[in-house]
Chains A and B, each alone.
Chain A
Amino acid sequence: MIRTLFAVFTTCALTASVHAADMGAKDEPIKLAVNEWTGQHVSTHVAGAMLEAAGYDVEYVTAGYMNMYQAIADGEIHGAMEIWSSNVSEDYAKKVEAGGVVELGDLGLDAKEGIAYPAHVADLCPGLPALEALRECAMKFATADTIPKGRLIDYPADWGTPGADRMSGFDLPYKAVPAGSEGALITELRAATEKKSPLLIVFWQPHWAMSAYDVKFVDLPVGNDECFEDPKWGSNPEATHDCDFAPSRIFKAGWSGMEEKWPAAFEILSNYELSVEEQQPMMGAVDVDGGKVEEVVAAWMADNEAKWKPIVDAATK
């Protein structure tokens, strides 16, 4: 009995100490990384606005997504709010191991990746979104580079080759062509939608282009870890990867010195979460309606105080 009481007591003490954190060096600005895509701008500016509400000074620093980890490890950038496990640089793991970078937990965005197509393609290849329809339609997707196989636009090579893995996994007659850059992927989507031409592409959400080009996913059988290791698993006994994409984690990371320098900010960023339903409309307001990120985020912050205020209050009061 006494032990239980003691345990309850310590838990209370611990939660209390976690909650009311010290502000730390609040005169020095906290630098948040701004990468190359709008969703990340939204996630970062919401986090920044929360820090400002707590009384911090925030600075937004543009940084290349692939090579910002050295800067975080050096303490020149203090937080990165949206890192995708599906295409994170190997430098991240190296820097975490070396101790310069720490993970700050999940952002809470539910990402989905998959083999996708703009809606009009369903007319060209009836049977979509069923996977088997692709086998019949392969020649409709063929181009000069891939003939006699169909063409699948894969991620840029430095993000991995999930498209090529699926095609060999399901033994589909498609050649995966790496895109080279996100701009190239979007341009393909735009051109195919405007020309009403066939297109099969590896894509993900949340992304503003999902709604702008009415992108749909092909149905793939839900998989588990075994699917990626054991060829016998799934419809094709010869190959691995004959299942849907492993769910991608989207998480936050920061400079390892942050907890000590700005304890309250560390706690706010660690507890900060943003869902697809919250992020996607803001992305649309920026990319489709041409709003400014700062203004869109400020409007959201004003309307959704209940979502973020408790986290800030818990850390500062």
Chain B
Amino acid sequence: MSAAETSVTARLESMNAGAKAALLTLIVGATCLMLEPFAPWLIKWPAAWVLPATDWVGDGLSWVLEAVKPFARACSDILSYPMDWANVALNGTPWPIVIGIVTAAGWYLGGLPMAALGFLGLSFVLSSGYWFQSMNTLALVAVSVPLAITLGGTLGILANEIPRIKSALQTVLDVMQTVPTFAYLTPILVLFGFGPVVGLIASAIYAAPPMARNVLLGLERIEPEIKEAAIMSGGTRLQQLFQIEIPSASTQIMVGVNQCLMAALSMVIIAAVIGGFDDIGWEVLLTMRKAQFGQALLAGLVIVAFAIIIDRMSGALATERKRYAPFVSWVILGVSVLFTVLLWKYLPNPNDLRFLDPVAETVDQGLSTFTVANGASLDSFKNNAMFYGLLPLRIGLDNAVLPFTWGFSWTAAMSGWLFAGAGVVGLLLAWRGHVTAGLILVILTGILETGIAELPWPFVLCAVAALGWVASGRKLALVSVLLLATILLAGLWERSLLSLYLSGAAVFACALFGGLIGLLCAVSPMAWRVMRPVCDMLQTIPLFVFLIPVLMVFQIGEFSAFLAICAYAIVPMIRYTRHGLINTPDEMIESAISSGATEWQILRDIRAPYAAPSILLGLNQTILYAFAMLVIAALIGTTGLGQSIYLALGKADVGLGISAGAAMAILAMIADRIVQGFAEERRQVLGL
């Protein structure tokens, strides 16, 4: 062994895990790039290697579905009773009394501000002309939420009682949250039959996980003393659980209920896609189909009004604050009943009250005026974003740089120079001691030159394994590779890379701009006061509504889809960044101030590192949201997995739908675990 080789081995041994993983990835990537002309199968997974897995899934499922169908139909029959009762109760109650009840509950929970919120919110619903549809929607939520709470609560308690199944159950919860509902719409339609019950079940599936997670968290956080006291006082395990532990975890459980309500409300629109029910989501779909932005926004805002009322009231229920005099609530209720009885003959049909139609009309006209006035400048903005951002990211500089776009053609020599330049900078970084950073720079340059949609699959597998290994360990690396391999074998690889590209670009933009907005909101309370309702609205309004203005301005295409995804996925990044930055312990800041640090230094050296785990959690949520939005973005016309899910829905192809949904969940869950791994590491470094 020569001296040079010895020194290479010595240096390799001295490298840290990250650098080793990056080096391996780089070698695999470079080899693939060099072999690409001789072995095209490195880029494009050959059709001959695809297993007819989607057909197997379809056949297997149809068999299972037929077997379970009688049972499911019975369930659906049973569920239709409470659904009908809720419907009759909500639609049968005269509207002044419904408003009175909500206002009275608002007073009891939060005094005047909450009562005003309830009153104004429902008055808005009343004047929108969608009262009956809204009550139908509320009936759906009123039945699906108890169902989700029971399901989620049971899962949470099970996970707490039987530690062996905890991690398996958590995976189940992840699957319930990440597989898009559209993917399993066909099978649940077959199982439960047509009608609102299907929407009810879909929304219960989606809303149960937050409940389960919070129940588990609450039960785990109970002080050991309390548990011991419960054991000492005798009683069966069930008594301990229901009489001592669950009551003492009630605050956390109420947070779960709150989250569960919000999740159920966000699924209202999915229930409408199936139909069978004249609800507010159906109105959104109808107006959206006619490209009537004003009316669609109005119908969407009705859902937002409900979401805000429900969120604030159930949030107040979760905190143990003082309650306000029930006397006033009774008075409010009494007034509303009196009002109804006295004016019974004059009460208008709530659906004839359409005070807000002119407003909707104006909004619609405003959108037209805006589009016409700014068409040219917005077009050039879009073109620049496409030419210099999205296109190179998707198909690589080697294909995206053309005389029409950049003004010249990309040549092999340019690739050479690009790699040489990246190599030099990378070496420089390595020489300064940042070996990993140098290697990653070269890898990223390679990705940009090739384009995400055209990355060789061995490189992707290797890069994901490397990330998983560094973030968490061998197990994650192995599981990730196995799961990705199933996507390859199912023949969904190309579509998955397209989805990965679109959501990746969106996550990057959200991380950047969301982080900056979060920072701004942390520094200035005024900015937060403006951003908070915007965040609330973006998260609860059916996103279909925003497709119209985005399309009006930017037309069908990737850029519109990209913007639509960003609009939804940026919210958690803003929230968590702000939350992390303002929650730095006071004593740390005080000691920094006393040692003479400037405001900026405190932010950079104290707040930012301390906020890192929270920001990473925000990033994690942003990734999950971005994947969730892919299905909605497919309505604009993207070509990734989202489109496959619609294709499957149109063909009633159970296998394709489930497989595409599973592929989406796999990508989201791998990204989630990797980011969580890094977050855990940071938390340990900070000693949290």
Contacts and interface: CB of A to CB of B under 8 A. Distances in A.
Interface of A: 33-38, 61-64, 66-71, 74, 76-77, 87, 89-91, 94, 143-145, 147-148, 153, 156-159, 177-184, 186-191, 194-195, 197, 287
A100 to B, nearest CB: 12
A182 B643 CA distance: 14
B559 to A, nearest CB: 7
B509 interface: no
Given A157-B647, A191-B551, A90 B275 contact: no
B275 A186 contact: no
19 contacts: A35-B275, A62-B278, A63-B276, A66-B650, A67-B189, A69-B652, A74-B193, A143-B555, A144-B387, A144-B405, A145-B557, A156-B637, A178-B637, A182-B289, A187-B552, A188-B551, A188-B556, A194-B372, A287-B290
Given A36-B286, A157-B647, A180-B635, A76 B195 contact: yes
A180 B194 contact: no
Interface string B336-373: 00000000000000000000000000000000100110
Contacts of A76: 193-195
Q: How large is the interface on B (under 10, 10 to 19, 20 to 34, 35 or more residues)?
A: 35 or more
Given A179-B556, A183-B635, 9 more contacts: A36-B285, A36-B286, A181-B288, A183-B288, A183-B291, A184-B551, A187-B547, A189-B291, A191-B371
A124 B277 CA distance: 45
Nearest to A34: B275
Interface string B617-654: 00000000000000000111111000100110111110
Contacts of B405: 144, 147
Contact of B651 (A90, A189, A191): A90
A62 B288 contact: no
B131 interface: no
A181 B274 CA distance: 15
Contacts of A190: 291, 368, 552
Nearest to A92: B652
B542 to A, nearest CB: 12
A157 B288 CA distance: 18
B472 interface: no
A61 B636 CA distance: 27
A91 B185 CA distance: 13
Q: Which 7 residue pairs across A and B have the least CB separation, nearest first?
A: A71-B194, A158-B650, A91-B652, A180-B637, A144-B386, A63-B275, A186-B291
B225 to A, nearest CB: 54
Contacts of B276: 61-63, 71
Contacts of B650: 66, 87, 89-90, 158-159
Contacts of B639: 157, 178
Q: Which of A34, A89, A157 has the most CB of B within 10 A?
A: A157
Nearest to B557: A145
Given A67-B274, A187-B548, A188-B556, A37 B289 contact: yes
B414 interface: no
A91 B289 CA distance: 23
A71 B274 CA distance: 10
Nearest to A142: B404
Contacts of B375: 195, 197
Interface string B405-425: 100000000000000000000
B193 A67 contact: no
B659 interface: no
B637 A71 contact: no
B168 interface: no
Interface in B288-338: 288-291
B310 to A, nearest CB: 24
Contacts of B123: none
A89 B651 contact: yes
A35 B289 CA distance: 11
B136 to A, nearest CB: 10
B230 interface: no
Given A90-B653, A144-B386, A77 B194 contact: yes
Given A144-B557, A180-B634, A67 B649 contact: yes
A70 B69 CA distance: 13
A74 B195 CA distance: 11
Interface in B523-566: 544, 547-548, 551-553, 555-559
Contacts of A184: 547, 551, 556, 635-637
A158 B402 contact: no
B194 A158 contact: no
Nearest to A196: B372
Contacts of A91: 186, 651-652
A317 to B, nearest CB: 34
Nearest to B649: A66
B637 A36 contact: no
Nearest to B636: A180
A177 B636 CA distance: 10
B653 to A, nearest CB: 7
Interface string B168-187: 00000000000000000110
A177 B289 CA distance: 18
A218 B651 CA distance: 30
B382 interface: yes
Q: Which of A35, A63, A190 has the most CB of B within 10 A?
A: A190
A256 B211 CA distance: 43
B273 interface: yes
A102 B408 CA distance: 60
A145 B558 contact: yes
Given A144-B382, A156-B637, A197-B375, A67 B556 contact: no
Given A37-B289, A156-B646, A195-B372, A180 B638 contact: yes
Contacts of B547: 181, 183-184, 187
B551 A187 contact: yes
A195 B551 CA distance: 13
Contacts of B552: 187, 190-191
A74 B193 CA distance: 7
A172 B153 CA distance: 59
B638 to A, nearest CB: 7
A58 B383 CA distance: 53
Given A94-B652, A180-B634, A147 B291 contact: no
Given A90-B652, A183-B548, A64 B635 contact: no
Contacts of B558: 145
A135 B612 CA distance: 56
Contacts of A144: 382-383, 386-387, 391, 405, 557, 559
B651 A177 contact: no
Nearest to B549: A187
B107 interface: no
